Structure 1
Amino acid sequence: MRLILALLACSAAAPALSEEVFPATLAGHAILPAFTMVTPPADAPRDLWVSGKFTGKQRNEEPMTVEGDVGKAYGGHGTGISLPFIGQPVQGMSGLAMNRDADGSWFALTDNGFGSRINSPDAMLFFHRMQPDFAGGRVTRRETVFLRDPDRKVPFRIANEATDGRYLTGADFDPESIQNLDGELWIGDEFGPYVLRVARDGRVLSVHRTTLDGEALAGPDTPGVTVPAQPGADYRVQRSGGYEGMALQPGTGLLWAMLEKPLLGPDGQPEGDFLRVMTFDTAAGDWTGESFRFRLSEGATAIGDFNFIDDNRALVIERDNGEGDAARACAEGAADQSACYPQPARVKNVVLVDTASRDAQGFIRRIGHVDLLAIADPDGKASGGTATGGTFTFPFFTIEDVARVDDTHILVANDNNLPFSGGREIGKAADNEFILLSVPELLAAR
């Protein structure tokens, strides 16, 4: 009896077993160069033909005069690309739609531009059809569609309110997730957070504010929230904490919209190490009232994308705020960080979840994950010698795209935050990288 009690006591004190880690093998690597620009539509205001004019402390009208850098917290490394830009940067793949276009190309979304509402009034909003060619190692942009509000569906004043075209900019929304359903696009925004219904030609058809437990959610950038505002009282969504992932459940028309970061509690602090997931009925054009929770693993601070692979199982990218190869981490207390990463990547996972399996608190069951910092490359698929010792890593700050390709492969891509992120090479802006991963064990897990 004493032995049984002792064993039970040891079992209760022991930490929970970690979830299974499945292997991932690089099956393809395609790159869209960091400095890839697109021309604005002919009827766009002349102001939008030069972008990034407001990313410094004051307006800068001189193209290509101020080099971007990764920020002091990440070593202050320059990226070799300077602002403002002539044209609009294609950068920032911030979401993949589960359903591809008829020609097999992927609907991919560019986010708000330069990282905030304040610095992005001249960054146009658009989505693309992208076609990675893993045999040739390149990515073809088949189409770019600019978002606009000619029918005045946006419920607040937009930056281009008085123009004929009423093109949307990063001062209006921060689009981070996208789905393709019956010829229309559904886009998840971070500022509101809002869900946008958009026609195939980029026209906004409707805008839906978020409700949770019968109350409207807001963030510090939501129109109507005025400064000073009390976190946890005047708003609960963290800045840059809206819909980073919004999955479309097959056969139901339901969008599962997942916040990027934990909601704030009444004390203004994160309510826990989990993210809220709300369901939206596209047929009804309204929230269902149901909500669930996704538990972050230790070290993870946010998610990057969310897509179903069948009726109930889905993939979620979870990440930390790190950037760069941990093998080149700065020594503790190092004064010179010019050739090292002070905050290297440590947690970059693609997690498989079962949305139909939830506990009493609404937590979605995690089945297992693959580690994007430990990808096998036995066949030398990595471009430009980016693999070391047969191992390929994906050490970017924001990895924001994942989707199932077939029964054994997934597609993953990064948001390169042009020109403010590196990750692959110190002193060089990150490219838009698309990787094809062979993960049969992960996709077969239940």
Structure 2
Amino acid sequence: MRPILALLACSAAPLLTTAALAEDSFPATLAGHATLPAFTMATPPADAPRDLWVSGKFTGKTRNETPMSVEGDVGKTYGGHKTGISLPFIGQPVQGMSGLAMNRDADGSWFTLTDNGFGSKLNSPDAMLFFHRMQPDFETGAVERLETVFLRDPDHKVPFRIANEGTEGRYLTGADFDPESIQFLNDEIWIGDEFGPFVLRVARDGRVLSVHQTMLDGAALTGPDTPGSTVPAQPGTDYRVQRSGGYEGMALQPGTGLLWGMLEKPLLAEGGQPEGDFLRVITFDTAKGDWTGDSYRFRLAEGATAIGDFNFIDDTRALVIERDNGEGDAARACADGAADQSACYPLPARVKNVVLVDTASVDAEGFIRRIGHIDLLDIADPDNKAPEGLSADGRFSFPFFTIEDVARVDDTHILVANDNNLPFSGGREIGKAADNEFILLSVPELLSAR
């Protein structure tokens, strides 16, 4: 999720640079497309506090309780385009698909996750946290939301004060956690959080069962949003996890019960600069409820700044989404120095990859081997599977800022979806909020690569 209050600082951070990685590039063909409309709302539970029935009241400089009164926009860095959808919302936005679980439910539906709400702890105290079961239908192009489960802490398992501490239901909000990755195991849900970063064990009904602080090399990993962090603080010394840099991906390794949590951004070293052009991967044993002590490294491609999701496809190979901070078709990029950016993208998408890695192949420095990748900005669409107007010359692109969902469907197909940051991201059409798009990709060469 794009944090609005820190957007300019995040976007202005220097891009990580690395030599071009020598790996195979594989083709991808669009096999299906389905859409969950941007303006899709969920009704809060009947016992939720009245405050949670209107969300997004704190996304501006002052409280705003007038529903649908302030139109969202993508921010100055991205051209300041309006998105056509206004805050605050009556109800809770379903937006922000931020992870797919590898294991599906018995009916074949996908477990997916909505993130913290509007991008930061400060602006999301009225954004409820929840996960869903969804089923994209690639024949009709629709996405059915079969179930939405709200997270709550009735048993006081969260080790810090939550926003709804004094309420009976103790529903969790975006002021408490930023859920960005999800797995389903033994009829329980495991969630990776960005703020702590924490790993949460959750019952099917949304009750928090346990919360686990991240440990690396015997020390707790913390960030500026970790409860207990104080300001002022020295990045790289007092905390090492960047803001919005916790668990964006958390893969479940088949047959082992191990969660492989991958941080979204590089850790900070002394002095507050990134420790390198790589991301830490830390393993957690769900059976023991503890960290294994093992950690690894994932090297980002040149131009990539973060990852979006991480899921195994077999015992050792896994898919990772890596991305830059751009959004929008590069063919509509603004000219250098253009004063009028109303009809162009000043920071278009350049790097949006799905990478295949082999976790069984790790070098002496702990780097996981990259096998190859597909380019989500260059997808073949020979059979016109995309909705009208979304393909050009038989090619389809997925140029969204945050692409945060990938999972294997079968031996030849994968499912990919975006986080649309409602109502603060466009990417598909200038002046319109991005929908939640689910795409089915045929990638047999990628999935068979070793």
Give the structure-1-normalised TM-score. Answer: 0.96
- Return the alpha-carbon distance in structure 1 between the equivalents of residues 188 and 327 of structure 2: 35
| Residue 438 (str. 1) matches residue 432 (str. 2) | no
**1:330 aligned residue (301, 318, 334):** 334
Matched residue of 1:314: which SS?
Answer: strand
**1:62-85 per-position Cα deviation (integer Å, ceiling 9, x unaligned):** 000000000000000000000000
- Return the alpha-carbon distance in structure 1 between the equivalents of residues 420 and 448 of structure 2: 31
**1:173-228 per-position Cα deviation (integer Å, ceiling 9, x unaligned):** 00000000000000000000000000000000000000000000000000000111
- Return the alpha-carbon distance in structure 2 between the equivalents of residues 108 and 17 of structure 1: 31
Give the structure 1 partner of residue 322 of structure 2.
318
Structure 2: gaps (5+ residues): 1-18
Q: CA deviation at 1:351?
A: 0.1
Q: CA deviation at 1:17?
A: 6.3
- Return the alpha-carbon distance in structure 2 between the equivalents of residues 185 and 133 of structure 1: 24
**1:280-336 per-position Cα deviation (integer Å, ceiling 9, x unaligned):** 000000000000000000000000000000000000000000000000000000000
- Return the alpha-carbon distance in structure 1 between the equivalents of residues 98 and 60 of structure 2: 23
**1:55 aligned residue (59, 77, 86):** 59
Matched residue of 2:260: which SS?
Answer: strand
- Return the alpha-carbon distance in structure 1 between the equivalents of residues 389 and 146 of structure 2: 28
**1:423 aligned residue (419, 427, 430):** 427
Q: CA deviation at 1:16?
A: 6.8
- Following superposition of structure 1 onto structure 2, how do residues 104-119 of structure 1 map, counting pairs within 5 Å? 104-119=108-123
- Return the alpha-carbon distance in structure 2 between the equivalents of residues 17 and 388 of structure 1: 29
CA spacing shift, 1:17–1:250, aligned 2, 3 Å? closer
- Return the alpha-carbon distance in structure 2 between the equivalents of residues 324 and 385 of structure 1: 15
- Return the alpha-carbon distance in structure 2 between the equivalents of residues 121 and 389 of structure 1: 45
Give the structure 2 partner of residue 370 of structure 1.
374
Q: What letter is aligned with 1:312?
A: T
CA spacing shift, 1:64–1:103, aligned 2, 3 Å? same
Q: CA deviation at 1:267?
A: 1.2
Q: CA deviation at 1:384?
A: 2.8
- Following superposition of structure 1 onto structure 2, how do residues 207-222 of structure 1 map, counting pairs within 5 Å? 207-222=211-226
Structure 1: gaps (5+ residues): 1-14
Count of aligned positions: 432
Q: CA deviation at 1:19?
A: 1.1
Matched residue of 2:148: which SS?
Answer: strand
Q: CA deviation at 1:231?
A: 0.2
- Return the alpha-carbon distance in structure 1 between the equivalents of residues 20 and 275 of structure 2: 22
Compare CA radii of gyration and give the structure with the larger one. 1
**1:121 aligned residue (118, 125, 128):** 125
- Return the alpha-carbon distance in structure 1 between the equivalents of residues 23 and 348 of structure 2: 23
- RMSD of aligned C-alpha atoms? 0.6
Give the structure 2 partner of residue 355 of structure 1.
359
**2:187 aligned residue (183, 191, 208):** 183
Give the structure-2-normalised TM-score. Answer: 0.96
Identical aligned residues as a percent: 86
**1:404 aligned residue (401, 408, 411):** 408
Q: CA deviation at 1:18?
A: 2.5
| Farther-moved stretch of structure 1 (43-52 vs 383-392) | 383-392
Q: What letter is aligned with 1:422?
A: G
Give the structure 2 partner of residue 195 of structure 1.
199
- Return the alpha-carbon distance in structure 2 between the equivalents of residues 160 and 303 of structure 1: 31
CA spacing shift, 1:17–1:95, aligned 2, 3 Å? closer
